[in-house]
Every structure is written in structure tokens, then in C-alpha cells.
Amino acid sequence: MKIDILTLFPDTVNAVLHESIIGRACKKGIVEINCRQIRDFTDNKQNQVDDYPYGGGWGCIMMAQPLKSCLDSVLEDNEGRSRVIYLSPQGQPYTEDTARRLARDYDHLVLVCGHYEGVDERFIEKCVDEEISIGDYVLTGGEIAAMAVADSVCRLVPGVLSDEECYTGESHWDGLLEYPQYTRPENWEGMKVPEVLLDGNKAKIDAWRHQQMLIRTKEKRPDMFSKLSLSEKELKAVERNLKGCVECRKAVPEDLHKIVDITKQAKQILQKRGIPQWLGEYPSRETFSDDISRGELYVLTVDGSVEAFFMLSGEPEPTYAVITDGKWSSDEPYLVVHRAAVSDAYRGSGLSDILFKNVERLALDTGRKYLRADTHKTNKSMQRCLRDAGFVYRGNVEVDTEPGFDPMRYAFEKRLKYKK
């Protein structure tokens, strides 16, 4: 596999791609990666590679001539199966399947790194075979994207990794996320390695790992999980990942100790992830005590132990009266989901899915047609939970919070469906 990268910053790219695993593969001659300085192919004394756009606009555009001359030089002596790729936010999303196709179908890739405000469209039309995007965001240049593509393709070349299983067992290879991994020590800060990994039974370990891949994919990437063709046995294995009996009931004062503990765990995770939500003393023991007295706080128990909670209220939320950047579906009475959390012991287990199923079950019993909730814009986990439960983003609302912190919250809504 030979890869030529057309760039304005060859030193930067070389510094990354000639280190570690890919660097060792280059030294062994298994892969060849060359960085070509586009400025070396300009036809002016100033080595100018960009100019102002016709029609006006911000920034400058990379000129077609230096790019084409650089490309011609690269392709001149190459007799392999070549593919010219422009790294662009307008390209097709890059996936593991794309990496496999490029590694399988070609032995020479030319990766073109744009810069400034892009490149002259005529170069793309005349010289580029395909455009690739590594994500729905914009970078200052194509170098980071080119390095990602080069790395992911090269690791699939035979001999780069020690064994084929090094990549066939990774996330995304067969539509699943990888199973959790552990190393020494066996007990770290009170957290133990799963027993199944310690007894040496390969069949049991393989079965456990496959089950964990299914569970992780369902929890973290439901979009990927929905595309899988699973057997009835595999589906039941995912449903059984919560051991024991899960029940939902109204909270009582005796539950407060465990509710407060779960709250502390959740606040630690929010703080670790830099999410400014549940700040200061909120929500406090008194907050939950008031919820219980109003009959609005519910807990989920696993084998009798409280492992999750949520508040469900039929009272209008004052902060929802004003919504920006969108609107609610209706002015009809609604229910509000607040203060929901799952214990560390059951985080990632699917208990959050069960929590929102119970929210909907209780809501349907009231006859109301809508559920509403809000969360901070950086709280991606809660946003994912809400969307997985069928909630739709409606706009922004402003809540009371600690001074100096962003009061805006993403507002979500779900229309309940009643069986005829």
C-alpha cells in the first residue's frame, strides 16, 4: 500500500504517520507514506497557492494549478490501482467499510488536503475520484482527516498488525462495538475484573464478550443496533443483561439514603465530564423529600435494591412558558420528567431504557398527551436517552442555576400514543 498526501504541512503529517505502529510498518516496507508539499509546484515566484474567490466572500481559495501539478507528479510513475481522494466536509461519511474498500481495491491512495476556504471546484471535477468526510464538522485543513484515513487503511494491510484478529475484533468491524477490556491489577479502587475473564474458559469468555458487544452497541449506538440481524437467542441475551427483577414504585422516605448516594455518583460524573448541571447542593435531600411528599418521585429497584429514580410531575413547569429557537407542539396539559439518574452499578446496563418505559407507562395512566423534559446542551448521555425514548428536541428554555453558569437547556417533548 502506497499513500501520497498532498499538503501544505508535510512535516506535521510526517511527524504523526511515521511513529508507532504505522511508522514501524513504513520502516519495514509494508506500507509507504509520502507527503508532497503543494507549494513546490507553484508557477510563481511567491510560491502562492491561494487567491481570492470570484464573486467575493471570506478567505481565499486554493488554486487548481499547484494541486494539479502536484498530483501529476505523484501519478506520473505510478502503475498501481490509484484512487484520488479529497478530504472535505461535503464528502461521504467515512466508515470502517470505506477503509476496508480502500485497502482491498487499491494499492495507491492520493489524499488531497484542502485549506483556507477550500479548493477550486474545477480541480475537484477534473481530478478527484471521491470526496470523504470524517464527520459533520469543519477543520482548518484536511491534514487531520488525511491522517485518520491513512492510519485506518494502513492497519488493514497484512503485516502491519501482528494478527488479523487485531482488527476483526475491534469496534465497527462487524457492526458491533468492542467488548470491555481489563488489565492488572485485578482489583482497582474497589472495582473488580469480571469473574468470567479470570477462570480461563475460552468458550465462556467468547460468549461473554459477544454478549457485551451486543449490550454495548444497543446502549451506546442504538442506530447501529437497529441495523443488526440478530437471532431470537441473541435478542433475549440482550434483554437479560439486567440480572434480577426490576420494579418501579413510588419512593418512600426510607429510600432517601440510596437516592442521595445515586445523586452523588451522578454529580461526580457530570463534574468529570465538565457538564454544568446539578450544581452546588442541588438536588438536595430536602428536594427529594419534597418530591416524595407530593407523590411525584419514583424509584426503580433491582432485586429490591434502589438503583434508579425519576420525578414525574403534572404541574406546569414555569421555565417552559418561554421557549426559544423552536416551539412546543401544543398548549395542552403535559407531564414533566425531572431529576432522573441511574446508579453507577447499573450505568450502561439498559436500566435507563426501562426507566423511560416506566415514565411513559405512568404518563399514559394520567390521560395526558405530552411528556416534556430538559437537559444541558453538553449532557449528551441524557440527550441520547431522551431521543432513544422517543423524545424530540423542541428548542431552548432558561432555568434557574448557579451564578456564572449557562442557564439555557435543551427542551425535549414526546407525544404519547394511546392504543385504540
Report which DSSP code applies to 34. Answer: E
Location of each CATH 3.40.630.30 domain in the chain: 246-415
Location of each CATH 3.40.1280.10 domain in the chain: 2-165
Taking the C-alpha atoms of 232, 236, 238 and 240 in order, what is their torsion angle to the nearest 10 degrees?
-170
DSSP reduced 3-state for 161 = coil
| 131 phi/psi in degrees, rounded to 5 | -110, 140
Buried b (16+ CB within 10 A) or exposed e, 108-129: bbbbbbbbbebbbeebbeebbe
**Contact assessment for residue 110 and residue 156, using Cβ atoms and an 8 Å cutoff:** no
How is the beta sheet containing 392-398 ordered, strand by strand? 246-250, 297-302, 305-313, 334-342, 370-375, 408-415, 392-398
Report which DSSP code applies to 46. Answer: T
The burial class, CB within 10 Å (0-12 / 13-18 / 19+), for 26 is buried
Q: For residue 307, count other CB atoms closer than 10 A to its CB.
A: 25
Query: The domain at 187-239 falls in which architecture?
Result: Orthogonal Bundle (1.10)
pLDDT at position 190, please? Answer: 79
Q: How crowded is the C-beta side of 326, counted as CA atoms within 13 Å? A: 15
Strand partners, 96: none
Strand partners, 153: none
Single out the residue of 416, 339, 315 nearest to residue 371, CA to CA.
Answer: 416
Cα angle, residue 49 at apex, residues 43 and 51 outer, rounded to 5°:
110
In the predicted model, residues of the chain with pLDDT beneath 50 are none
Pairing of strands 82-93, 108-113: parallel
Q: Give pLDDT tens digits for 114-139.
A: 999 999 999 999 999 999 999 999 99
pLDDT at position 242, please? Answer: 61
pLDDT at position 169, please? Answer: 52
Location of each CATH 1.10.1270.20 domain in the chain: 187-239
Q: How long, in residues, is the chain?
A: 420
What's the fold here for domain 2-165? Alpha/beta knot (3.40.1280)
pLDDT at position 234, please? Answer: 77
pLDDT at position 273, please? Answer: 92
pTM over 0.85: no
**Separation CA 269–CA 283 (nearest Å):** 15
Domain 246-415: CATH superfamily is: Gcn5-related N-acetyltransferase (GNAT) (3.40.630.30)
The burial class, CB within 10 Å (0-12 / 13-18 / 19+), for 386 is buried
Q: Which CA distances in Å does 120 have to 49, 61, 125, 360, 406?
A: 11, 6, 9, 53, 41
DSSP reduced 3-state for 26 = helix
Q: Give pLDDT tens digits for 69-112.
A: 999 999 997 888 999 999 999 999 999 999 999 999 999 999 99
